[in-house]
A and B are shown apart, each in its own frame.
Chain A
Amino acid sequence: MNLQDFNTKVYPLKDKIFRFAKRMLGQNEEAEDLVQEVFIRMWKIREKLDEYRSLEALAMVTTKNLCLDKLKARKFPMESFNDQRQFIETIAEELRPDHSDLVSGVKEAMNALTQQARIIVHLRDIEGYEFDEISEVTGMEENAVRVALSRARKRIREILINNKRYEYQRN
């Protein structure tokens, strides 16, 4: 695969990679850097890229693995470490007109999920992946993906309902 092929076939995946990385890492900067890293990884094996059935699946698996490495390398669980940054980012997003409090509440609910569940919901409900594609990225059986997806969706609903109840109580 030459540079031109790479630019037309791999580079357009940048947004998907970015969104996936941001979902897993929980912050922008690292996700932006990770996109570059995924491209570097894929460029290094450009001679073999034609052998892969799905470049997107390869890119997403690479993203997932790099993210897991990053998360493992963190000295602190980033959820707490990044509260401040996340808070700032949330404010910026809330200032946009199409983001209500309720929508940011969904984000919190997503963050409360386990990594695996978060990955599955992201791939299905945000990226619109079929179950076999999700299974390819996660390495789980299709049925297991379906069960985990259902459980994660219900968990989000549960968290949202609880949050709402809490808000009512507070008001």
Chain B
Amino acid sequence: MNIKEIEGLLDRYYEGETSLEEEQKLKDFFLQDEVPETLRQHQPLFRFLISEAKLTLSEENQEASLDRRIERYRGETSVLSVHPGKKRLYYLSAMAAGLVLLIGLVFLIRNEAGRKGYMENTRPSTELAYNQTKQAILMVSVGLNTGLDEVQRLKTLDNAMGQIQRINKFYNYQTQFINPERMQDPSTNK
């Protein structure tokens, strides 16, 4: 293969016009050790392209990849098993909170209802207390009234006392005019 032909192929190669067969020719040409000086600058490219095409996925690489996958899978599963656990815990705590709230609410309502019931129950007894109080007040007032009667009797005594006073005045008047000595010392005269 002469240099002119290779140069022509190279020009077309860079224009993207070469066929696969022509490109294989170029690769074969640059694979040989004696490449003319003028064309040597193109050699690394084609050698690189040839060597890259030989790259294979070895068994050990595949196995290493498999090991990595298994490891990652384990990691994922452990993460997965932790994650739903966390989620479950979250739901559980939410449920517990809800339950506590419910129980609290039930107790509160019950208490409220109980208190209401108590009030209902006490209503007649308040009436009773009212009546009792009324009775007690009545008793006091009755007692007071009887006391007032006694006081009324005292008034008659007072009246009586007034009359006695008048008798006493008359007696004083009588003794001053009729018998002054007697009046002065009634005890010695007797």
| Residues in B neighbouring A157, C-beta threshold 8 A | 14, 45
Q: Once the chains bind, are B64 and A32 in contact (CB under 8 Å)?
A: yes
Q: Once the chains bind, are A106 and B48 in contact (CB under 8 Å)?
A: yes
| Residues in A neighbouring B52, C-beta threshold 8 A | 19, 122, 126
Q: A100-B44, A102-B44, A105-B44 are in contact. Are A126 and B49 (CB under 8 A)?
A: yes
Bin the interface of chain A by size: 35 or more
Q: A18-B55, A128-B20, A128-B23 are in contact. Are A36 and B48 (CB under 8 A)?
A: no
| Residues in A neighbouring B15, C-beta threshold 8 A | 150
Determine if B53 is an interface residue (Cβ-Cβ < 8 Å). Answer: yes
List chain A positions with a Cβ less than 8 A from chain B: 14-15, 17-19, 22, 28-29, 32-33, 35-36, 98-100, 102-103, 105-107, 110, 122, 124-128, 130, 146-147, 149-150, 153-154, 156-157, 160-161, 164
Q: Measured between C-beta atoms, what is the minimum distance from A92 to chain B in Å?
A: 13
List chain B positions with a Cβ less than 8 A from chain A: 13-17, 20, 23-24, 41, 43-45, 47-49, 51-53, 55-57, 61-62, 64-66, 68-69
| Residues in B neighbouring A103, C-beta threshold 8 A | 44, 47-48, 51
Q: Measured between C-beta atoms, what is the minimum distance from B13 to chain A in Å?
A: 7
Q: Once the chains bind, are A32 and B20 in contact (CB under 8 Å)?
A: no
Q: Measured between C-beta atoms, what is the minimum distance from B50 to chain A in Å?
A: 9
Tell me the bound Cα distance from A161 to B48 in angstroms.
16
Q: Measured between C-beta atoms, what is the minimum distance from B129 to chain A in Å?
A: 81
The listed residue with most A CB atoms (<10 A of its CB), out of B23, B51, B65, is B65
Q: B-side binding surface: helix, strand, loop or mixed?
A: helix
| Residues in A neighbouring B51, C-beta threshold 8 A | 98-99, 103
Q: Once the chains bind, are A125 and B23 in contact (CB under 8 Å)?
A: yes
Residue in B14, B45, B57 whose CB lies within 8 Å of A160 = B45
Tell me the bound Cα distance from A18 to B56 in angstroms.
7
| Residues in A neighbouring B20, C-beta threshold 8 A | 128, 130
Q: Closest 3 interchain pairs by CB?
A: A150-B16, A102-B44, A106-B48
Q: Once the chains bind, are A29 and B45 in contact (CB under 8 Å)?
A: no
Residue in A36, A100, A154 whose CB lies within 8 Å of B65 = A36
Q: A106-B44, A128-B23, A153-B16 are in contact. Are A14 and B57 (CB under 8 A)?
A: yes
| Residues in A neighbouring B66, C-beta threshold 8 A | 36
Tell me the bound Cα distance from A126 to B49 in angstroms.
5
Q: Once the chains bind, are A35 and B57 in contact (CB under 8 Å)?
A: yes
| Residues in B neighbouring A147, C-beta threshold 8 A | 16
Q: Once the chains bind, are B55 and A22 in contact (CB under 8 Å)?
A: yes
- If A32-B65, A99-B51, A126-B49 are given as contacts, then 9 extra A-B residue pairs at C-beta distance below 8 Å, sorted by A number, are A14-B62, A15-B57, A19-B55, A29-B68, A32-B62, A126-B52, A149-B16, A157-B14, A160-B41
